[in-house]
Amino acid sequence: MVRINVSLADDLFEELKQAVPDRKRSRFIAESLREALRRKQAEKLAEEYQAAATEIRKANREMEGVIGDGLD
């Protein structure tokens, strides 16, 4: 496990203090960060999928003309 120091806005820290007991804050922050990173990774994968799908559709459109050539 690694210890780090982070800075929080005063109002955010006050909310954290009110919502999460003293000895549970590190776990809460770690779990929240883990979930945020999962969402970020899912967003990245969705963007990559959309880019790949666009390229595949483009290639399919280009191939439609080639596949039909000479079949008459």
The DSSP call for residue 19 is: H
Does pLDDT of 71 surpass 90? no
The whole-number pLDDT of residue 61 equals: 84
Does pLDDT of 63 surpass 90? no
The whole-number pLDDT of residue 34 equals: 98
Which residue shows structure tokens 């959309």? Answer: 50
Does pLDDT of 62 surpass 90? no
Cα–Cα distances in Å, from 5 out to 8, 26, 43, 50, 59? 10, 11, 27, 37, 49
pTM of the model: 0.68
Q: pLDDT tens digits for 5-52?
A: 999 999 999 999 999 999 999 999 999 999 999 999 999 999 999 999
- Kindly list the domain boundaries of the chain, sorted by start residue: 10-68
